[in-house]
A and B are shown apart, each in its own frame.
Chain A
């Protein structure tokens, strides 16, 4: 019963490097989301998707990109890592409009 799986769990990047955070769900959910959570703060929406091939910006999209080629996968791309992107990143999915979101375990990213 995997649910929402995120990889990697931890990563340290140097300024200017790029990387992709992976997110996969096996619940056949159409809606998927990427959030970041800074220490002592709530979750801020980066990008979301309502189905394969459809993505849109959230509250804090600058410095990130996403794609959704399949229902299962929703990767988040950082092109030029900056210290301000040090955070914990959570991927989430949900089934229907009024259903709750289910979260992955998170990726802890440090940029030095």
Chain B
């Protein structure tokens, strides 16, 4: 059973701080990694994808991937109350059909 584990929450940070979300995965053959944001009662929306070791930045978001250690993280700089949501880590298994396995999610609250 391929597993994806996210750091336990909920996570609470003050406005303007850096929020750090972590995810580990069990399948060494995994090639693609995604972070989704899900507001309460809404569907997941993609915020970052990463495929190679290292950092990938998009605005206030930075995804970090370390395949040797089997972890992927998401940093949110200058956190805003609108960032308050559940963040889901998703890992694509290393097969041609590419099923995603999701972590259980980390609830982030950014307080003013």
**Interface, chain A (partner B; CB < 8 A):** 31, 33, 35, 40-45, 48, 50, 56, 58, 90, 94, 97-98, 100-106
**Separation of A41 and B38 alpha carbons in the complex (Å):** 12
Contacts A43-B44, A90-B44, A106-B43; A98 near B100 (Cβ below 8 A): no
Q: A56-B97, A98-B98 are in contact. Are A103 and B104 (CB under 8 A)?
A: no
Number of B residues with CB within 8 Å of any CB on chain A: 24
B44, B90, B99, most chain A CB atoms within 10 A:
B44
Indicate if the CB atoms of A42 and B102 lie closer than 8 Å: yes
Q: Decide if B82 is an interface residue (CB 8 Å cutoff).
A: no
CB nearest neighbor in B for A102: B46
Number of A-B contacts (CB under 8 A): 54
Dominant secondary structure at the A interface: strand
B-side residues, CB < 8 A to A, are 4, 31-32, 34, 42-46, 49, 51, 88, 90, 92, 96-105
16 examples of A-B residue contacts, CB within 8 angstroms: A35-B102, A40-B104, A42-B102, A45-B100, A45-B101, A48-B99, A50-B97, A90-B44, A97-B98, A98-B51, A100-B34, A100-B46, A101-B46, A101-B90, A103-B44, A105-B43
Residue of B nearest to A48 (CB): B99
Q: For residue B49, which residue of chain A has the nearest CB?
A: A100
